[in-house]
Amino acid sequence: MMTKDEIKQMLKHVPHFPGVYRYFNKDGEMIYVGKAKNLRKRVTSYFSKEPESRKVRHMVESIQRLEFTIVDTERDALLLENSLIKHNQPKYNINLKDDKTYPFIVIKNEPFPRIFLTRNVIKDGSEYFGPYTSVRKIRGLLELVRTLIPIRTNNHNLFLRIMEDGRLRVNPEYYLKGISGPKEEYLTEADYNRGLEQVREIFKGRLGLVINMLQNRIKECVSKLEFEKADILRQQLDFIMEYQNNSIVFNTKVKDLDVFTIHLKEDQAYVNYLQVRKGDIVFTKTISIKSEVDKTLEEMLLSSIVQIQEKFKRTLSR
């Protein structure tokens, strides 16, 4: 366990910014990833009071090094935290259940899968997307998806008998609620699964398909002078665009990229490096530098990039 002087020295460089922090043990293994509105306040709390549980105490006793990354919003912190946990599988994020209350979207592991919000991640072969910070926005996204792609929402027992026929109506609720509709329109399980592939792309943030679809529908409505329908579709398009551009951490157009940002606090500057591989953030590093009065932020950032590139030149993308 670190001495009081070592802890004090470690905390000295942690800023009062929102961000994500990582703890490492003596072997250099990442053992915990967390997020905070105030990094200094949150990290200090681990060492200023007796841990509430035995597992937290064991974790604190194992900490030998701290790293942090500064972000702008709670959503950015959540996405970065989730990405680092998924990629590194830190020991105490698996054992501790403090941060498991955010909702996910689940595609159930079943024939003609249902899609809905849940806070319980069950290892039953289902697919989970998230976590998300805004239930309202995700409910809006789900509602929009259901207007574009036929998705089953009812778990009625009658559905099991319909499956034997191998077909599902274009409006899945027809069989489940007796909604009337043209009998010649059917949806096979293969067709339904093709729709699911579009849904997966949407939940992964690859929204080009939906955006193009909405834009074409708007043009069609305008050409038919159906302006009220066009206005509703425009609102849906605005919602999708807002969802797509909501985060500086998560950008689905990116595959491999190295991202550098700089944050200034009084006479101290913090330079973040995010390593994105195949669309996921797999590594992040922050260095602290003294602010120089004769240099602009851009000049300080460029100088820091050279240092970081030299240190991580084997892993930076070309």
Q: What percent of the chain is predicted at pLDDT more than 90?
A: 14
Evaluate if residue 196 carries a pLDDT over 80: yes
Mean pLDDT, range 11-36, rounded to an integer = 90
Task: State residue 26's pLDDT score.
Answer: 92
Judged against a pLDDT cut of 50, whether residue 74 lies above it is answered with yes
pLDDT higher for 233 or 148?
233
d(CA 108, CA 253): 27
Name the pLDDT band for 254 (thresholds 50, 70, 90).
low
Q: What is the pLDDT of residue 252?
A: 45
Domains of the chain listed by start with CATH number: 4-95 (3.40.1440.10), 104-244 (no CATH), 257-311 (no CATH)
Q: What is the largest CA-CA distance in the chain?
A: 77
pLDDT at 182 over 70: no
Rounded CA-CA distance 46/26 in Å is 18
pLDDT > 70: percent of the chain: 75
Residue 202's H or E segment, with its range, is helix 189-203
Q: Compute the mean pLDDT over every residue in the chain, rounded to the nearest whole number.
A: 76
Residue-wise burial string across 97-134, b where 16 or more C-beta atoms lie within 10 A, e elsewhere: eeeeeebbbbbbeeebbbbeeeeeeeeeebbebbbbbe
Tokens of 265: 């606090």
**8-state DSSP, 182:** -
Average pLDDT over residues 272-276: 79
**Confidence class for position 44, pLDDT limits 50, 70, 90:** very high
Q: What distance in Å separates the CA atoms of residue 40 and residue 13, rounded to the nearest whole number?
A: 9
Secondary structure letter of residue 294 according to DSSP: T
Q: Which of 291, 293, 305 is nearest to 263 (CA)?
A: 291
